[in-house]
Structure 1
Amino acid sequence: MSDTAQAARAVIGDSEFDRDTAVTLREPGVYGIDLSAGWTIINAVNGGYLLSVLGRALADALPHSDPFTISAHYLTASQPGPAVVRTDVVRTGRTLSTGQASLFQYDDEGREVERIRVLASYGDLDSLPDDVRTSVKPPSFPPMEQCFGPEDGPAPVSGSSAIAERLMLKLDPATLGWALGSPSGKGEMRAWFGLADGRDADPLSLLLAVDALPPTAFEIGLSGWVPTVELTVHVRSRPAPGPLRVSITTRNLAGGFLEEDAEVWDSADRLVAQSRQLARVRVG
């Protein structure tokens, strides 16, 4: 990376992601935000971006600042524009605090509509012990220079939109069959992940990372929108600087729904986040 590019790297707290997830306290427990169109897929606001918005509001409302576990139910599709986040402190303790939050927007008739509701527990990641006992291993896929992003194709990837310009995604070629018209039939998606402006990852951006890759349904041979119904994220550690590796798998598509299990690994080969979501697919 050149000296100019290095100097241009955004930092945590001063980046497009930070500005676009910033909430403004209006009254105790109530925050305002203008959801950015920069994080849309087709016309819908990305679910990971929305989770980061609510995660930031809860970090302000609770005495602890790091999400440990956050579960979200997506009730209606969010649109770019004004929104209100209402938070409620459920319990506070020495090591964990629990809160809930909902994001609301207004429909064309001026009625308030709840878009997403979350329940989360927060703590201090820096206070956790260093002891690690695990059987899980980092995903194995090619180095970044041998992987491919939206900019490497002859045309924009179907279903991608404004969010693609804000991400650094380099997909494992073994999970790119769908983009070439030959999906493997395996429910797998793997990629190097970062923010396009060079901002390093933190616990809040991990909430985006688990939901930023193309749907595994594409590699199963399906296309179109795959809306999230429920998403639970476990943040396990504060990520080291550098790009992340994200691996997502689906083992069961049935009744028009599938699960996606994600693992996020940092540059120090640590598992820093895990998630599971239930999503709808259009079959037939």
Structure 2
Amino acid sequence: MTFEFDRQIAVSRESKHAYTADLYPGWVVGGGLNGGYLLSVLGNAIKRTFPDKPDPVALSAYYLSASKPGQARIEIEPLRDGGTISTVSASLTQDGVARITALASYGDLDKLGDDVGTTAEPPSIPPVDECVPNTFAPPELLKIAPLMQRFDMRFHPQHVGWAVGSPSGRGELCAWFKLADGREPDPISLLTVVDALPPVTFDLGVIGWAPTIELTAHVRAKPAPGWLTVRHATRNLAGGMFEEDCEVWDSAGRLVAQSRQLARQPRGMR
């Protein structure tokens, strides 16, 4: 069985280090395609380049311009092919326009070790059936973010006040997460998960599309099957930008991915 997500992050090899991809309109948010989805497309091409090191370990991407649905070209430049970790630079372009430039390190998480020891505490969130599904999102949000149909998200009841005009002001969002097509999580999909929730500024009452400037993701372990728990938080809005820190915990209670991104402050619904 081929899942929707796998079809929509698929790449075709043009040459040894060049690929093409068809970027799907279902991942649009605001004025472009979701940055996490684009990371998974880019990450999938890097995976094809190093079949013996299939897992992203660290990936840092700069978003140079808004990507749009349609064909894209991905070019990979290997920088170091080590024994356990390989590092590349990668770029994604459309019609000759640079969209993303990135550096990434890849390895085999099974060989690197699948143990997770952390002093971090998982988010405190009620059971799935006591949380608020994303299908209850305001119509104006669904209009600018059709990508929400790609996910099954169940939000912490205390983190949805923004939807009725009563944001908490804490700068935190937490939700259970699954891909809508039922595909189980893996390291490549985690690159999407870290950017899947609405911008954390929603909880501050600042609502709208928040274009990503830079996003760095660390994948710490292969996630266990089942629901993921995702937490976004911010502590600072300055210069028209904000940082968003993300933690992704798997069904076994392990911290399997982390990220930080710098994004522009939303300018309101359009």
TM > 0.5 fold call: yes
Is contact 1:229–1:279 with CA below 8 Å preserved after alignment? yes
Runs (4+) of structure 1 exceeding 2 A deviation are 128-134, 152-162
Q: Give 1:42 shift.
A: 3.3
| From 224, 232, 237, the counterpart of 2:216 | 232
Alpha-carbon distance in structure 2 between the residues aligned to 1:127 and 1:82 = 35
- 1:66 aligns to 2:55 (yes or no): yes
The percentage of aligned residue pairs carrying the same residue is 53
Q: For 2:254, which of 260, 266, 270 is the aligned residue?
A: 270
Q: Which moved more, 1:195-204 or 1:148-157?
A: 148-157
Check if 1:55 corresponds to 2:39.
Answer: no
Find the partner of 1:79 among 65, 68, 77. Answer: 68
Given that residues 55 and 187 in structure 2 are in contact (C-alpha distance below 8 angstroms), is that contact kept between their aligned partners in structure 1? Answer: yes
CA distance in 2, matches of 1:129, 1:46: 31
Tell me which of 4, 11, 24 is aligned to 2:12: 24
Whichever residue aligns with residue 202 of structure 1, its letter is D
Change (3 A) 1:172 1:160: farther
| Aligned residues of 1:150 and 1:157 also touching (Cα < 8 A) | no
- Counterpart in 2 of 1:168? 152
The whole-number CA distance in structure 1 between the counterparts of 2:267 and 2:30 is 19
Corresponding residue SS for 2:132: coil
Q: Name the aligned partner's letter for residue 3 of structure 2.
A: S
Q: Give me the CA root mean square deviation.
A: 1.6
Computing the radius of gyration from Cα coordinates, the structure with the larger value is 1
Task: Please give the secondary structure, in 1, of the residue aligned with 2:168.
Answer: coil
CA distance in 2, matches of 1:169, 1:46: 16
Q: Deviations along 1:10-57, whole A, 9 cap, x unmatched?
A: x6xx21110110000011211011100111113411100000000000
Unaligned runs of 5+ in 2: none
2:206 to 206, 212, 222: 222
Map of 1:105-120 to 2, 5 A cutoff? 105-106=94-95, 112-120=96-104
Equivalents in 2 of 1:130, 1:225: separation in Å? Answer: 36
Q: Are the structure 2 counterparts of residues 180 and 125 from structure 1 closer, same or farther at C-alpha, using a change threshold of 3 Å?
A: same
After the TM superposition, which residues 123-272 of structure 1 pair with which residues of structure 2 at under 5 Å, given as runs?
A: 123-129=107-113, 131-153=115-137, 155=139, 157=141, 160-272=144-256
Establish whether residue 41 from structure 1 lines up as the match of residue 25 from structure 2. no
Give 1:154 deviation, angstroms.
6.8
Is contact 2:115-2:221 (8 Å) kept?
Answer: no
Query: How far is 1:223 from its partner?
Result: 1.7
Q: Cα 1:127–1:247, aligned 2, differ >3 Å: closer, same or farther?
A: same
Query: Does 1:94 pair with 2:83?
Result: yes
Aligned mates of 2:137, 2:262 — CA distance in 1 = 29
267-276 vs 132-141, greater mean Cα deviation:
132-141
* Compared CA separation, residues 159 and 225, structure 1 to 2 (3 A): farther
Distance of aligned partners of 1:131 and 1:57 in 2 relative to their CA distance in 1, 3 Å threshold: closer
- SS class of match (1:103): strand
User: What is the aligned residue count?
Assistant: 267
2:93 and 2:114 map into 1 onto residues whose CA distance is: 39
For normalisation by structure 1, the TM-score amounts to 0.90
Measured in 1, the distance between the counterparts of 2:206 and 2:136 equals 22
TM-score by length of 2: 0.94
TM-fit CA distance, 1:173: 1.3
Runs (5+) with no aligned partner, structure 1:
1-10, 107-111
Range moving further from structure 2, 128-137 or 211-220:
128-137
Could you tell me how far apart the structure 1 residues matched to 2:144 and 2:131 are? 18
Aligned-residue offset at 1:161: 2.8
The offset of 1:160, in angstroms, is: 4.6
What do the CA deviations read for 1:136-156 (whole angstroms, capped 9, x no partner)? Answer: 111111111111123235746
Task: Go from structure 1 to structure 2 and tell me whether the alpha carbon gap of 1:73 and 1:176 turns closer, same or farther (over 3 Å shift).
Answer: same
